[in-house]
Amino acid sequence: MNQPYTRTVYGQSGSCLTAPRVVISAAHGRSGKTTVSIGLCAALAKRGLKVQPFKKGPDYIDPSWLTAAAGSYCRNLDLFMMGQDGVKKTFVTASRSADINIIEGNKGLYDSVDIDGENSTANISRILKSPVILIVDSARMTRSIAALVNGYKNFEPDINIVGVILNNVSGSRHEAKLRAALERYCKIDVLGCLPRSSQLNIPERHLGLIPQKEDSELMPAIENIRKIVETNVNIDRIIEIAKNAPQELRVASCEFKVLNPKPETRNPKLKPEVRIGVPLDKAFSFYYLENLDALRDAGAEIVFFDTLEDKKLPDVDGLYIGGGFPEMFMDELEANASLRRDIHVAIEAGMPVYAECGGLMYLSRSISWDGKIKKMVGVLPCDIEMTKRVQAHGYVVLQDADGREIKGHEFHYSRFRNLGDVKFLYKVIRGKGIDGKNDGIIYKNVIASYAHLHAIGSSQWAEEFVELIGEARGEKQRYRVAV
């Protein structure tokens, strides 16, 4: 696998693609689809196949596990933020060199933002013409499983559900009854039966599964899951199903700026125009690869650094601070006072910064959690308090001063305290934002927002941010010349 978050180089966006693929979905959330997807990716990779994982939805954490299991970086497919064309083109570009593509859904197969199912996993499978394997939590169920599976098959008949994997099977008698019911009433392949096992449980945190990057001791969990999946699931049949997916996935031939920039807009032989510092460590790791690619395409060099270990800010012209778990590492973040001071001084001197969620928290005066209060960078006139309840969770639609709508998502347990007099960049059309009406605090050249944006659905975000950094650097250089 390449170094973390290095630039991915793609070929031209073609009109069709041959890509072995399968969607792993479920009857409902917490049925075991992430566990199955992890085990399947690991098992396929162990066979020497190049596995490309995808995750439906905006999640950052499940993709980190799929990345570790597959040995290649997982890509998000999100219809709300990226649109159909963005989903298709992301899939096409990322799947080109893969032997098999595993697409993990989210929630239940037909669940969606709206009742029409436009943003569902089922619609992802329809758009990508992919067969679907349904994961069913079979606990405390026998004959009823046939009614459930038939309901899913008949609800939208054009969705190609080709097989099921039964999870939480209590023993051989239970398995026999489940198989008999499905054989008699459903005529569908049973591709595997996973036993009830604590080794199939992945530790969770308040935002979901614990990021793989955060704890190397969790890596044996992937190996345990792989072994159980290999033993109890028909891997050969799943490979056959993926290979039998429609041979041509047609995609509209149009320019796709994030992944395929126009040659005349950026000469790859030219040196990057600006350097953007991006913290990538245990506290901050929530980044869409497309966002980093978009910044590079706009003329930036990405410089990674560690907010927990690096004592000085690297030589950069701007900062992009993504989300993560700063509250879990608030002691270490406070202890690294020299880096916090460097960032504070740089911002006061006019350095442009775009911060999302955890990044916003880091720029505040302090974070309080579980009776402790720890100092942060301190450039934003606010304090952050962690709570036990979710404060915001879901998709957002923001509107900037020019009336442009930007789609993203938010998920956090924190809330503001002692917010001073601030200006906001975004009006919240959907979602909660910072105060229920606004998001995106503006301070000097800083924009700090609870919303996570995706470059494909965020208009000119990358270009405008790089342009701002270039202008700020020009002002700084002119000042130096004048002095």
The type of residue at 402 is D
* Paired tokens of 349: 């001197």
Distance (Å) of CA 290 to CA 271, 369, 410: 20, 32, 18
The CA distance from 244 to 110, in Å, is 23
pTM confidence score: 0.89
Joined together, the tokens standing for residue 36 give 């199955």
In 3D space, the residue among 51, 56, 52 whose CA is nearest the CA of residue 25 turns out to be 56
186: annotated active-site residue: no
- Size of the chain, expressed as the number of residues it contains: 483
Element (H, E) at 28: none
C-alpha distance from residue 472 to each of 302, 318, 347, 426, 481 (Å): 17, 9, 11, 22, 14
Q: Where are the alpha helices (DSSP H) in 59-190?
A: 61-70, 79-95, 121-127, 144-155, 172-185
Catalytic option among 41, 193, 357, 382 = 357
3-state secondary structure of 71: coil
pLDDT attached to residue 422: 95
Pairwise CA distance, residues 334 & 307, whole Å: 10
Q: CA quadruple 37, 39, 45, 47: dihedral positive or negative?
A: negative
State residue 218's pLDDT score: 66
| Mean pLDDT (10-residue bins), the chain, 483 residues | 49 58 96 95 98 97 92 96 94 94 97 94 98 97 98 98 97 97 96 87 58 61 94 98 84 39 41 88 95 96 98 98 96 99 98 98 98 98 97 96 94 95 97 97 98 91 96 68 37
Collect all residues with Cβ–Cβ distance below 8 Å to 271 and sequence separation of at least 6. Answer: 301
pLDDT score at 221: 87
The number of angstroms, rounded, from the C-alpha of 471 to the middle of its chain's C-alpha atoms is: 31
- Whether the Cβ atoms of residue 359 and residue 387 lie closer than 8 Å to each other: no
In terms of DSSP bridges, do strands 423-430 and 438-443 run parallel, antiparallel, or are they unpaired?
antiparallel
Which DSSP string do the residues of 419-442 spell out, in sequence order? --S-EEEEEEEES-TTTSSEEEEE
Q: How far is CA 309 from CA 1, 328, 382, in A?
A: 24, 15, 25
Whether the CB-CB separation of 406 and 390 falls below 8 Å is answered with: no
Confirm if 117 and 159 have CB atoms less than 8 A apart.
no
Q: What is the pLDDT of residue 250?
A: 62
Q: Answer yes or no: are the C-beta atoms of 466 and 300 closer than 8 Å.
A: yes
pLDDT at position 7 is 46
Q: What is the pLDDT of residue 262?
A: 35
Structural domains of the chain in order of their starting residue, each with its CATH number: 21-243 (3.40.50.300), 263-482 (3.40.50.880)
- 382 contacts 418 by C-beta, under 8 angstroms: yes
CA separation for the pair 55, 74 (Å, rounded): 7
Rg (Cα) of the chain, in Å, rounded?
23
DSSP class per residue in 167-192 = EEE-SHHHHHHHHHHHHHHT--EEEE
What is the pLDDT, as a whole number, of residue 201? 75
Residue type, 199: Q
What are the backbone angles phi and psi of residue 266, rounded to the nearest 5°?
-155, 115
d(CA 92, CA 51): 14
